[in-house]
Every structure is written in C-alpha cells, then in structure tokens.
Structure 1
Amino acid sequence: MKKWSMAFALMLGIFLLVGCGQKKYTPQAINEDVDVCVICNMQVKDDAFATQIVTKDGKNLKFDDIGCMNEWKQKNGVDHIGMDYVRDYNDKEWIQFSKATYVYDSSFRTPMAYGIISFKVKKSAEDFVHEQGTGQILSADELSNHTWQQSKDMMDMHMEEGMDGDMHEDMNMDHNGTN
C-alpha cells in the first residue's frame, strides 16, 4: 500500500511539473507607431482587423489583415506557430484563431481587401450578416478551404485612394457598413 502511495505522489508531482511548465503564447498589444505587417509592410492599426501569430520560440508576428496572416502561414507552415490570434470585430478582444467565427464577403472593406471579419461569438457574426444583408459565416476549419483572394474592386479603390498613412482609416468599416 505504501508503494502505491509513493507511486501516486510521484506521478502527481510529474503531472504538476509538466502541466505548469507549458509555455503560454499570449498576444501583444498593437503599437501603431512601430508595428508593421510582416507580409505587406503596412502599418498595423489597433483595430478589429489586426491579427498576430506567436511562434513557438516566443516571437510575435503582427498582421494588418487576416489574409496577410494566412499568406504567412502558407509560406512558412504552421509547425512554428505556438498560437494565432484574431480580434473580435465588436470589442477588439484577442481570440484564438481556431475559436473565432468568421464572416466573408468580397464587398467588406478590410485593410488588404480580403473581406473577412472575425467574431468571438457566432451569434454576433449572424447578427452582423443580418445587419449587412450579405456575408457568409465560416468557421476556422472552413477558412482552410477559402480561396483567399483579394477583392480586385477593393484593391483598385485602395489604389485610387492612394497609399498614404491614412488609407487604413478610410478602409475600416463602421458597424453600419459605411465609413
């Protein structure tokens, strides 16, 4: 009986050490003065479209649009990712990529014209689609089959607006779908 107690205590100790030793991958705050997208080198705004990856070695990679984050994943694979984050469209809270619900429509104005908006609660995504009168609800798994094409019309409009530092402000849609 004493041997079983010692074995149980040893196993419990190992379990606690392993559980407590797991690395946490937490997102960093956006600093608009210095943060630029790893893919397109545009300023990352502290808004609902910002995304980030925390690599297993603790490096934070920031993106101005979920499409840029996807492009990084396609080029680099997912083996180096500790955690990936998107932001809730309503309150800008960081959410794990795999736990968010997404809404896509090519007419949605996002920084790099991918037209994908993220929500922490599926009901909020459904409400958004209802309010906008358009949009396709997608899970993180369904995004793996998404075409990831930028809207040509949106990109042309971005070019017409010019590539100045205020472009991000012009491209962010408010909750009524207007600027």
Structure 2
Amino acid sequence: MEKMNKRWILAMVLFLGTVMLTACGQKYAAVPINEEVDICAICNMQVKDDAFATQLTTKDGKNYKFDDIGCMNEWKKQNGTDNIGMDYVRDYNDKEWIEFSKATYVYDASLKTPMAYGVLNFKDKASAEAFVAEQGVGTIMTADELASHDWTQNMDNMNMEGDGHGHSHDGDGMNHDMGQGSDHDMSEGDHQEGQSKENSGHH
C-alpha cells in the first residue's frame, strides 16, 4: 500500500511538472502581428506581418516586436537577455514562428531587410543552404554565431530606399510652400499699390 502511494505521488509530481512546463511555454508563445498597431520597439517603424518581423516576451510577460532582427539584437544589447522568456524569428519562406536559438541564419550585406541589417531567418539549415545556393550569396550562421556578428547596417540600402521618398516629399513640399508664398506676396503688393493710387486720387 505504501509503495503504491509513493508511485501515485511520483506520478502526480511528474504530471504537475509537465503542466507547469506547458503553461510556461504558452506564456511565452509568439503573438500574431497586428500591422495597425505594432511598432518596432527600437526604430519605431511599423512592424509588418512579413518574414522579417521578430519578437520577444520577457519573463514578466511584456511583449516587444521588431521590424528587423537587427533591431531585436539592439534591444538585447540595451536591456540584456537575462529577463527574456522567449524570442522568436520567422522563417523566410513560410513566415512560421521559430525560436531564435533553433533557427538558422543567412547574412550578406546585399540582402535587403527593413533596416538593412542583411540577416534572414530559416527554420533549418537545409532551407538556408538552398537559399544560398539559389542566390549565390550569403554566409550561413547559427544563433550562437550571431552573438559575435558585427550587425553593421548597409547604408547604401538604407539611403537608396530613404532618399527616393525623402527627396520627392521635400521637393513637393518646398515648391508648394514657395508657390503659396509668392502668390501671397504679389497679391499684397497689388493691394498696397491699389490703395496708394486710391489715396492719391482722394488728395
């Protein structure tokens, strides 16, 4: 009887341990991206529901999303990793959420990502190797190897995308403002000239 009680207690302990582990896993589960409200915790850009989005949840339940894995790395540099419950990246091919430590990565400065860090995520090494073989560029890395990666942004990619929008917007704005200013000044000048002639006539 005593032996049966010990077995029952052991079984309950194992069961409760499994339940607790499952609950912890659910607590840190990846959260769906909501493009309407999700903003990168580092660069404050919109987080799109694409293969570049990453996220982490801290042990106290706070979730942070990023538009580029490089931004998530920057968050870790600023805040440390001790309080991270789980961090996720997305597979480049099907956008499946993968634990950061289990993914395989491909880096090349020419690869375009939202913040120009040039790092792509894959669910396994075979997928990463297939991408490199197809594209003809890229260095395959593990999560551990990313720890010593220099995370340099390719400013050529950044400028190429940013300047196209910036110049167009600034140019339109400048021409619009100058045009309004010129019309306004001319109308005031005509008005003043008319008043002068009118006053001269009265005298």
Q: TM-score range by the shorter chain?
A: 0.7 to 0.9
Find out whether 1:78 has 2:81 as its counterpart.
yes
Number of positions where the alignment pairs a residue of Structure 1 with one of Structure 2: 162
| 2:48 is the counterpart of 1:38 | no
Query: For residues 30-63 of structure 1, what are the alpha-carbon distances to aligned partners after superposition, in whole Å with 9 as ceiling and x for unaligned?
Result: 1111101000000001000000001112222100
Q: Report what 2:6 is aligned to.
A: 7
Larger displacement relative to structure 2 (46-55 or 145-154): 145-154
Instruction: For residue 69 of structure 1, report the CA deviation from its aligned partner.
Output: 0.4
- Aligned ranges 1:81-96 → 2 under 5 Å: 81-96=84-99
Superposition RMSD in Å:
1.3
> Greater share of helix residues, 1 or 2?
2
Q: Secondary structure at the match of 1:113?
A: coil
Number of the residue aligned with 2:163: 160
Shift of 1:68: 0.3
Establish whether residue 145 from structure 1 lines up as the match of residue 144 from structure 2.
no
Name the larger-Rg structure: 2
- State the distance in 2 between where 1:18 and 1:126 align: 38
Tell me which stretches of 4 or more aligned residues in structure 1 moved more than 4 Å. Answer: none
Unaligned runs of 5+ in 2: 167-203
In the alignment, the residues of structure 2 paired with residue 6 and residue 98 of structure 1 have an alpha-carbon distance, to the nearest angstrom, of: 41
Q: Which has the higher contact order (CA 8 A, sep 6+)?
A: 1
Q: Tell me the residue number matched to 1:17.
A: 16
Query: How far is the alpha carbon of 1:108 from its aligned partner?
Result: 0.5
Quote the offset at 1:154 in angstroms: 1.6
1:117-132 to 2 correspondences below 5 Å:
117-132=120-135
Q: C-alpha displacement at 1:83, in angstroms? A: 0.8
Identical pairs, percent: 60
Distance in structure 2 (CA, Å) of the matches to 1:126 and 1:50: 21
Decide which moves more: 51-60 or 103-112: 51-60
- Rounded Cα–Cα distance in structure 1 between residues aligned with 2:71 and 2:118: 12
TM-score by length of 1: 0.86
Q: CA offset at residue 149 of structure 1?
A: 1.1
